[in-house]
Amino acid sequence: MRVAQHRKEKEAEGYRLVQFWVPDYSNEAYKAEITREWESINSADAQDKTMEWLEPFIAEVWDDLPEDDWNFGNDDSLSQRETHE
């Protein structure tokens, strides 16, 4: 009886049983929740000016990076490995 109750609860939450519980994209309650979440995310992005404020600083740091930033020098154990071709 506990399994049947669990399944009913999951279906009510917008899930359907496959091999494990996955979102049921045909469930109207699930679609409504996803829509609400996307609207909330998009609204927050539109209101949050943090990235706009950071962009000049990010660009400055990015421009100052050396071209060979991925070369860690002679003390890098990976660059000292011998290759056998």
Domain that holds residue 56: 2-64
Tell me if 45 is assigned to some domain. yes
Tell me if 73 is assigned to some domain. no
Tally of domains in the chain: 1
Tell me if 15 is assigned to some domain. yes
Q: What is the pTM of this model?
A: 0.36
Residue type, 3: V
8-41 pLDDT per residue, tens = 999 999 999 887 788 898 999 999 999 999 999 8
Nearest to residue 33, comparing CAs of 12, 5, 9, 18? Answer: 12
Tell me if 70 is assigned to some domain. no
